[in-house]
Amino acid sequence: MSGLTASVGGEPRVAGHRITVQDIAVWHERMGWSVVEIVSEYDLSLAAVHAASAYYFAYGERIDRSIEEGGALVEKMKEQMSSTGAEPLDKQRE
């Protein structure tokens, strides 16, 4: 799809940026950002954001599953840290 490329991990991202389709899906679908907000916040073209949105609408189920798996992994890591008594890095720096 025009404006998108595959990253090293195989996830589609905006060409010339490290921003993934998943990032744009989260910002737009879950956080409620408008396309214009995404474009201005990350200096992307409208075409790039629309290409990412089109990809998401075509493959959204897979992308949503990846988002959920990522969230589950974060929660699992938090649980492991709390069970071992380890503090998150941001707390260690205070």
Domain ranges in the chain are: 4-83
φ/ψ (deg, to 5) at 5: -145, 165
- pLDDT exceeds cutoff 80 at 70: no
pTM comes to 0.70
Distance CA 62, CA 68 (A): 10
Question: b vs e for 32-59, b when ≥16 Cβ sit within 10 Å of the residue's Cβ?
Answer: ebebeebbeeeebeeebbbbbbebbeee
Q: What is the mean pLDDT of residues 19-25?
A: 91
Contact 24, 49 (CB under 8 A): yes
What six digits make up the tokens of 67? Answer: 């988002």
pLDDT digits (tens, 9 = 90+) for 46-60: 999 999 999 999 998
Q: What is the mean pLDDT of residues 65-93?
A: 70
Q: What is the H or E stretch that residue 94 is in?
A: none
Candidates 3.30.1490.190, 3.40.50.300, 1.10.10.10, 1.10.3720.10; correct CATH number of 4-83?
1.10.10.10
